[in-house]
Structure 1
């Protein structure tokens, strides 16, 4: 019971103190001068009360244009939003600060914080990555502009993190085409899309640890596409499946996929052999037909002379 009383007393004191602070802040907002608000905002900021500090900085910022305190007001206001995880707004404010005060001693830090805020706002790999691309551009621009900055190493690491995120997104996209493929319409088209997407992935991320798995899935996709294609497209597609397998073995001589892929390679050879046999039969049939037609024309010509 005593513990409960102590708890209630502490909570009551906190409530009284919070109410008192709120009243004091409201009074300052209504009747305080710009100078008083600026000093109070700095005090709130130094005490890590970024909510109240941000409200005051935001309020007085338009009133300080040309004033010596205008620069710090905008800079701290950007940080207030950053510390409250308002990363889109903080990136905008830091970028605007750099554009306005390019010669400021805070300019380099503001540019970095603009890029870093974009980095913090970048979503997980499974969401749209438009803002990730914007963040990459901002971080790279910072490194190009301030190559010797103390923030350069952080930017480089941030860039690696974001590119890994894009890599994971592209990997999942390629796998999704494979997972949603089937031999019926329209699922067969996804095998073709998987093959193309995996090629694109390998070009964009040549050193990715996902490449071996994706190349394995590409061979399966290409073989399945060939095996279920119309006759006129099978030769080219079986040949590509075999070519993909041979390239895979050159790059990855020993893998856990060896037995399965060797089986697919054998099936591709048989499929190609079957197609070539049919082509040969069609060729012979065409030659026989042309001979018959030539004989008939010759016979008709002889009869006309008679």
Structure 2
């Protein structure tokens, strides 16, 4: 079977291009390596360009071309979604070239790389804290940047993830019936996260935990703990009386009222 002429031409060009690339990669001509790496970067062939840049970056350190080369080296990792190395290389760039015209973009991409490394909320959140730190540094360093709105949105997203993790830990205590730990965890969450989207559920969770602690206590502790639960209900209903959780909270409250023994009044003298 004879191949069409167009296909033969394409294969010839491809093979020639590959052989030229391998030749430049093997030889020590840094000028040709630099020109080819730049061409590959501009045409979006990041994986091939990266192999050349790995050879070029040490050779051009301290030279005029070093600034551009180090930036596109970091950005190549970013475009390849290798955010760990992208963040590291952009940090190196900002340290090496603090007066560069690309310093703001590099700082933002460094911070965003750490944001990209943040895992889902149920996993260890060290990278989330690192992302928050880097994004906040960018916001502080470039308060008038046009990238500030995006940076603020990323900060909000990461904070929400940390809040969700903390909230889910409190819920887990409630699910496993460790009511004392649940009350403490919900209480800490409410104190530490005044603007959280989970605040309503945290108030409700604290009340339910206190209610269940009370009704499952030994008799001598029941009344005191019912009164504590009633106090948590009052705090919940103060802010969330018109929410979807209010009807169920009311049922628990009515059960508390039915079980509470009125406090004895002090005799008058």
TM-score tier after normalising by the smaller chain length: 0.7 to 0.9
Cα distance between partner residues in 2 of 1:225 and 1:259:
20
Whether 1:197 and 2:197 are equivalent positions in the alignment is no
Residue correspondence of structure 1 range 35-50 to structure 2 within 5 A: 35-50=31-46
Structure 2 residue 81 is matched with structure 1 residue 93: no
Give the counterpart of 1:118 among 114, 129, 145: 114
Q: Which residue of 1 aligns with 2:239?
A: 251
Deviates more, 1:236-245 or 1:203-212: 203-212
Could you tell me how far apart the structure 1 residues matched to 2:222 and 2:35 are?
A: 78
Kept in 2: contact 1:198–1:215 (CA 8 A):
yes
State the alpha-carbon separation in 2 of the partners of residues 260 and 154 from structure 1: 39
In the TM superposition, residue 50 of structure 1 has moved relative to its aligned partner by 0.8
Calculate the TM-score normalised by the size of structure 1. 0.77
Could you list the per-position Cα deviations for residues 157-204 of structure 1 after superposition, in whole angstroms to 9, with x for gaps in the alignment? Answer: 2112212222222232222222222xxxxxxxx222221221222223
Deviation at 1:119, TM superposition (A): 1.3
Residue matched to 1:171: 167
CA contact (8 A) 2:160 2:196 kept: no
Match of 2:198 in 1: 210
Contact 1:38 1:60 in 2 (8 A): yes
CA distance in 1: counterparts of 2:184 and 2:9, whole angstroms: 66
In structure 2, the partner of 1:220 is 208
Distance in 2, Cα, partners of 1:13 & 1:92: 42
Larger Rg: 1
1:106 paired to 2:94: no
Using structure 2 for the length normalisation, give the TM-score. 0.87
**5+ residue gaps in structure 1?**
182-189, 278-306
- Give the deviation of 1:235 after TM superposition: 4.0
Instruction: State which drifts further: 206-215 or 50-59.
Output: 206-215
Q: For residues 258 and 228 of structure 1, what CA distance do their matches in structure 2 show?
A: 23
Partner of 1:238: 226
Once superposed, what is the RMSD of the aligned Cα atoms?
2.6
CA distance in 1, matches of 2:253, 2:9: 78
> Counterpart in 2 of 1:140?
136
Structure 2, unmatched stretches of 5+, are 265-269
3-state SS of 1:273 partner: coil
The question of whether the paired residues in 2 share the 8 Å contact of 1:227 and 1:271 is answered with no
Deviations 1:220-273 (A, max 9, x none): 211111222234543442221010011112112233344432332233345442
In structure 2, distance between residues paired with 1:206 and 1:99: 37
Query: Quick one: distance in 1 between partners of 2:66 and 2:172?
Result: 52
Tell me the distance in 2 between the aligned counterparts of 1:84 and 1:266. Answer: 59
Q: By how many angstroms is 1:19 displaced?
A: 4.2
Report how many residues are paired.
Answer: 263
Corresponding residue SS for 1:206: coil
Aligned counterpart, 1:303? none
1:153 counterpart residue number: 149
Cα distance change, pair 200–21 in 1 and its aligned pair in 2 (3 A):
farther
| Distance in 1 between residues matched to 2:11 and 2:225, nearest whole Å | 74
Structure-2 residue corresponding to 1:31: 27
